[in-house]
Amino acid sequence: MAGAEKRKGGNPGVATLEKETPPRVKVKLIPIFVMGKRYMVPEGLTIMKAMEYAGYKFIRGCGCRGGVCGACGTVYRKPGDYKIYTGLACQTVIEPDMYLTQMPFYPANRASFNLENLTSAPEEINKLYPELFRCVACNACTKVCPMNIEVMDTVSYLKQGNIAKAVELSFDCIQCGLCASRCFAEMPQYHIFQLARRIYGAKISPRSKHLIEADETIESGKYEEPLRKLMSADEKELRKLYQERETEPLETGDDWQPKKTEYLSIS
């Protein structure tokens, strides 16, 4: 690559390469406090990267690094500010003199249940999580949610028995547990919302036609022989099949289908 290396003189018939020294970049260091200990780290880093720069090795509390898994919930304070702030370590950018600690797991109550034995009645949620009705509508849960979910409103819909609306509002929940950490009613909102979504998906939401057709096709044994062929193929053959496969174009309509449809449930 240009600028990465240059040719060095010497024997006219032999060309040797000499690597250039990469340019040094000045980085401003700022102080942060991790569980009470002060560290100087480059500004502009996320909390997670700053902690790794400081020497911490993540064993728990580090999953997707993309703000989706909810494993890196963090509580922090800013200097001179009475307020407790929360965020995800992989997304929140450090600030000078912030005091922080991570909460990879919050010990919230999680009810045990067999989904097959539950019905679509709202009472199912009430029986498993009676603390739902301890909500005092303080809205502390909504304020700490890193996904900007209207947590208190979702709880209100569940108290009204409107599971469908609660599922809609809580769809982006990543199970970080920060809402439960600030709840005066001591309820595990994120576990309750997960139960609501499972009940809705299994007992309330209408099944899509194409999903029913796909299930029936699998049960019919249509894919058994093709799968056996793939499992018995060697690496060279698998690579060939993969490289020659038909892929969907980048720009196409919703009705696109491959030329060979024998493996589709609709054929």
Please provide residue 256's backbone torsions phi and psi, each rounded to the nearest 5 degrees: -65, 140
- Whole-number pLDDT of residue 251: 83
Position of tokens 């849960």?
141
Structure-token pair, residue 200? 């809705």
Q: Report how far residue 232's alpha carbon sits from residue 158's, in angstroms, rounded to the nearest whole number.
A: 51
Structure-token pair, residue 254? 């919703």
Position of tokens 């289908």?
257
Position of tokens 């569940």?
158
- Whole-number pLDDT of residue 4: 45
Q: Report how far residue 26's alpha carbon sits from residue 42's, in angstroms, rounded to the nearest whole number.
A: 10
Residue 157 sits at the vertex; the CA angle it makes with 193 and 146, to the nearest 5 degrees, is 50
Q: Report how far residue 135's alpha carbon sits from residue 154's, in angstroms, rounded to the nearest whole number.
A: 11
Contact 30, 40 (CB under 8 A): yes
pLDDT in tens, the chain (267 residues): 444 444 555 555 555 556 778 788 788 999 999 989 999 999 999 999 999 999 999 888 888 998 889 999 999 999 999 999 999 999 999 999 999 998 888 889 999 999 999 999 999 999 999 999 999 999 999 999 999 999 999 999 999 999 999 999 999 999 999 999 999 999 999 999 999 999 999 999 988 888 888 888 899 998 999 899 999 999 999 999 999 888 888 888 888 888 887 777 655
Contact 143, 223 (CB under 8 A): no
* Chosen CATH of 29-102 out of 3.10.20.30, 3.40.50.300, 3.40.50.10420, 3.40.718.10: 3.10.20.30
Which has the closest alpha carbon to 176: 31, 60, 19, 68?
68
This prediction has a pTM of 0.72
**Cα 182 off chain centre by:** 21
Structure-token pair, residue 145? 């949610």
- Whole-number pLDDT of residue 1: 42
Please provide residue 205's backbone torsions phi and psi, each rounded to the nearest 5 degrees: -65, 130
Check residue 51 and report its DSSP letter: H
Tally helices (H) and strands (E) across the chain. 10, 7
At the fourth CATH level, the homologous superfamily of domain 115-204 is Alpha-helical ferredoxin (1.10.1060.10)
SS3 88: strand
Domain ranges (residues) in the chain: 29-102, 115-204
Contact 94, 41 (CB under 8 A): yes
The pairing of beta strand 73-77 with beta strand 37-42: unpaired
Q: Report how far residue 73's alpha carbon sits from residue 173's, in angstroms, rounded to the nearest whole number.
A: 13
